Each structure stands twice: as C-alpha cells, then as structure tokens.
C-alpha cells in the first residue's frame, strides 16, 4: 500500500511540527499548555501516519483519529486519569512510528533530504515519547523528580519542563538542575541516556553505509 496522494509533504510537515513542539512552544509561558500540546500531538500523530509507507499506515491513521476523539472527550469530562492514559497509549503509537521511520531510512537507496528529515524526525519523536512518559511519571509518582524551585511533592509539572529534562538527558549533557529522585525515575533516566546514544549510533551507521555503497557503485 502506498501513501495516499496529498498536496503537501507530510515528512517535511512532521519535522516542522516536531521542531515547533519541542523548541518553540516551550519558550512562551502561556495558559492552557496541556491543551496546546494535545493539539500539536494530534497534528504530529496524523502527519506521522501519513509519513509511514506501506505497513501499518491505515491502522495508525485510525489510532490517530481515536486519539483525537478521546483527547477532546477527556477535556470535556475533565478526568485527569483518562488524559494520562491517552498520553501513554499515544507514546506507544509514536514508538511504532519511530521504528517505521528507521526502517524507511534503512531501506532508502540513497541519502537525500527526505531520508535526513526522517532521521531527524525519528530523533525528535524519541525525545517526545520520553518526555510524555517522564511527564506521566511526575503525575503517577509525586516527588519522582527534584526541581530547582522546590515543592516537588505539590508542584504541577509542565510538559515543557520534561522536554528540557529529557533532551538534556537524551544528549548526555546532564546539567543536573532537574534530577530523578525515585528509583523508577532514575531507571528511566538511564533508559533515556542509553537510547539517545544508540539512536545516533544506528542512524549514523545507516547513513555512512549508504554513502559508502553509493561511492562503491560510482
């Protein structure tokens, strides 16, 4: 099954929405942060499904539609547990998208702008998934992380804070201003750090291998 014909490039738009979500939105301190992120996640979910070629695209689009419906239902009924559960489920669906993007990169004959965009999107999606899961940990285990502002047991953690923490950990920078305290948070931090190094190693190996193969054929 091929991608449905659309008038825009879903891969390029996916990368644009990921950059907007991870790097631009957290700069602005605005109300209804969770609402805005769920709106962006909905767009990213649909674009992720459209970016996938062949296997699983229709199922992913169906899950994206279900996610959008459940998200707005959660806002209407104002049940935090439903919203949290939906976020965890969508994180799993994003993991499927990441695997497919890596496979598309591996199966590409040549390294072009599209392949590089897919690689970057996959990297940002991994960080997005970890941020959603880390944010879920803060809701499920109060005090799981120590924040420089204190009041770790009562504060309402913003998703943008977890973007910062996850990508600092993901890149092995580790400033230490937000630190994992609970055993679950520490184990998760180890997973984030190792996954970041593994993703970069795998993608670089794939891209270098394709450049080498092209040079050999030439």
Please tell me which residue, 54 or 145, carries the higher pLDDT value: 145
Kindly state whether residue 161 falls inside one of the protein's structural domains: yes
In a domain, 44, yes or no: yes
List 145's β-bridge partners, or say none: 180
Q: What's the CA gap between 143 and 14, in Å, rounded?
A: 34
- Please tell me which residue, 22 or 205, carries the higher pLDDT value: 22
Q: Per-residue pLDDT tens for 126-136? A: 999 999 899 88
| Boundaries of domain holding 37 | 10-217
pLDDT-based confidence at residue 4 (cuts at 50, 70, 90)? very low
- Nearest Cα neighbor of 38 from 3, 63, 74 is 74
Domain CATH code at residue 54:
1.10.287.70
Residue 1 lies in a domain: no
Residues 156-189: tens digit of each pLDDT: 778 888 999 999 999 888 898 999 999 999 999 9
What pLDDT is attached to residue 215? 56
* pLDDT of the residue at 8: 63
Domain assignment of residue 23, yes or no: yes
Q: How many domains is the chain built from?
A: 1
Handedness of CA 189, 105, 47, 45 (dihedral sign): negative
DSSP string for 156-183: ---HHHHHHHHHHHHTT----SSEE-SH
B/e letters for 14-46, b = 16+ CB within 10 Å, e = fewer, are: bbebbeebbeebbeeeeeebbebbbebbbbbbb
Please report whether residue 4 resides in a domain.
Answer: no
Cα gap 154→165, rounded to integer Å: 19
> Is 3 part of a structural domain of the chain?
no
pLDDT tens track for 18-65: 999 999 988 887 667 777 887 888 888 888 888 876 666 677 777 777
pTM here? Answer: 0.84
Residues making up the chain, counted from first to last = 218
Read off the pLDDT of residues 67-90 as tens digits, 9 standing for 90 and up.
Answer: 777 777 766 666 666 667 777 777
| Alpha-carbon separation of residue 27 from 24, 33, 64, 174, 200 (angstroms) | 6, 12, 27, 20, 26
What's the Cα-to-Cα distance from 107 to each of 5, 20, 56, 103, 197, rounded to whole Å?
Answer: 21, 28, 16, 6, 22
With beta carbons less than 8 A apart as the criterion, state whether 91 and 133 touch. yes
For residue range 182-193, what is the model confidence (pLDDT) as tens digits? 999 999 999 999
For residue 145, the surrounding DSSP H or E stretch is strand 145-146
Under DSSP, the state recorded for 6 is -
- Flag whether 5 is in a domain: no
């Amino acid at each position: 099954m091929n991608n449905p014909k659309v008038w825009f490039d879903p891969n390029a738009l996916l990368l644009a929405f990921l950059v907007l979500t991870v790097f631009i939105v957290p700069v602005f301190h605005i109300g209804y942060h969770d609402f805005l992120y769920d709106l962006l996640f909905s767009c990213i979910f649909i674009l992720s499904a459209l970016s996938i070629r062949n296997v699983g695209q229709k199922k992913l689009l169906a899950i994206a539609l279900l996610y959008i419906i459940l998200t707005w239902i959660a806002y209407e009924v104002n049940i935090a547990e439903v919203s949290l559960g939906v976020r965890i489920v969508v994180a799993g669906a994003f993991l499927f998208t990441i695997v497919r993007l890596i496979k598309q990169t591996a199966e590409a004959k040549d390294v072009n702008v599209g392949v590089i965009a897919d690689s970057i999107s996959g990297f940002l999606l991994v960080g997005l998934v970890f941020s959603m899961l880390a944010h879920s940990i803060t809701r499920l285990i109060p005090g799981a992380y120590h924040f420089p502002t204190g009041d770790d047991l009562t504060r309402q953690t913003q998703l943008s804070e977890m973007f910062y923490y996850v990508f600092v950990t993901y890149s092995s920078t580790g400033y230490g201003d937000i630190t994992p305290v609970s055993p679950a948070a520490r184990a998760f931090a180890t997973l984030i750090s190792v996954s970041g190094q593994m993703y970069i190693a795998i993608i670089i190996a794939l891209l270098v291998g394709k450049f080498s193969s092209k040079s050999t054929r030439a």
